[in-house]
Structures are given as structure tokens and as C-alpha cells.
A = this chain, B = another copy of it.
């Protein structure tokens, strides 16, 4: 059975303006690889209602899962929940279960559950909450779209809450070999190797070390025997490979 597929939507003006360097994409990519879920596309969009709606509707039908990060806090620029609900043709209102979580949190911290904070309890009907052990305000899964926070430690905690209830596949196995020759010299035999193993992804990533060109060859696949066989062939092709 092929692995489940996924896309991600990173939401935030601060990424597109260059102010903030996103880290959630790299984190999620690694977590999904480990669980055998193939991340096939990522889109970064601004805090603009129509852009979020278009990304959600452009991706949710094409992939098994869509993960979003960003835009679910209490301020005016936090519009992701509204946009995701709109993409499904739904409205959203304060939901009792989410309100109870926030009320307990703010009672504990001695802060007021005011109108702005209550915005974070607006969850579409039918959505499943995603637990937030860091700052309590929950994310949610609406069908196959999983809505999470943008602050990296909260995003990571929500991913940890969410992934155990998503079915994975065969984890992506990776082996690599560093070859101390320029890509232009190894490209021919490498292409033949790739043709011989069509189910594997064989990537070449150039580097320069002590002024000399080299390439790291990365072989990825879900069948350990195939990955091993390709690695043996690769090592035989390039006996000068670095350990």
C-alpha cells in the first residue's frame, strides 16, 4: 500500500517579508518522514483570507492530509481558523469544550478570559481539538486539515499531540555516501543506477571540501532491501567514496 501523502501550509506575513525564518516546515518534514507520511508540497501564504482559503482548497482534495501552521492566536492578524472554516463552507463560533480549556488555563494563571482570548475558542463544529500542552489554546482537525500554531515550540507540541492519531506508512529509509568527485564526473553512472532502481529516490547534493568538489548521494526508499542493494551498487561504482 502506498504511504499516505501530505501537504503543509505555512501562514504568515513575517515569513514572506523575510523578518522570520520559518522552522516549522523542516520540523514537520522530519516528523512525517519518520512516520512514513510523504510530504509532497508546502505553500507559504500571507495573512490574507482569500490566500489561505485558496491554499486549503487547492490542497485538501489532492493529499491525504494538510497541516497548517500560524495564525490561530488572539490578535486581529490571526485569521486562519476563519479561513479554514470558510474553505469548507462553514462558519465558526466559540465552542464549549474549547472555552472550558481556556477558562481553566486563565483561571490558573490569574488572567482574564476576555473577548480577544475567547477568539481562540472559536472552533468549527465537527472539528476535533488538537491539544496544546504549552499555552492551552487548542488547534483543530477539520476532516483532513490540521490547524496548528505558528510559534515553533507550540507547533511542535501540537504535532506531538496530533501524529499518534494519524495512520502512518512505511518510514522513509535513507542512506548516503560522500563521493570526492564533482557531480559532472559521476552523473553518467549515477543516472544508470537511478534507472535500475525506479522505486527509489536517488539524489545528488554537491559540496566543496578543502577546495575540492564532491557530492553526497542520498538514496531514499521504503524497502530496506532495495535501499541496501542500491547502496552496494553505488559503493562498487565509486570505490573512492568517503566513509
Contacts and interface: CB of A to CB of B under 8 A. Distances in A.
A42 B39 contact: no
Interface in A42-79: 42-47, 51, 73-77
A151 B183 CA distance: 13
Interface in A24-47: 25-26, 28-33, 39-47
Given A17-B220, A26-B18, A201-B13, A184 B117 contact: yes
A241 interface: no
How many copies, total? 2
Interface of chain A, main secondary structure: mixed
Given A46-B40, A117-B184, A184-B74, A19 B190 contact: no
Contacts of A111: 182, 184-185
B45 A32 contact: no
Contact of A75 (B21, B42, B191): B191
Contact of A184 (B18, B114, B182, B206): B114
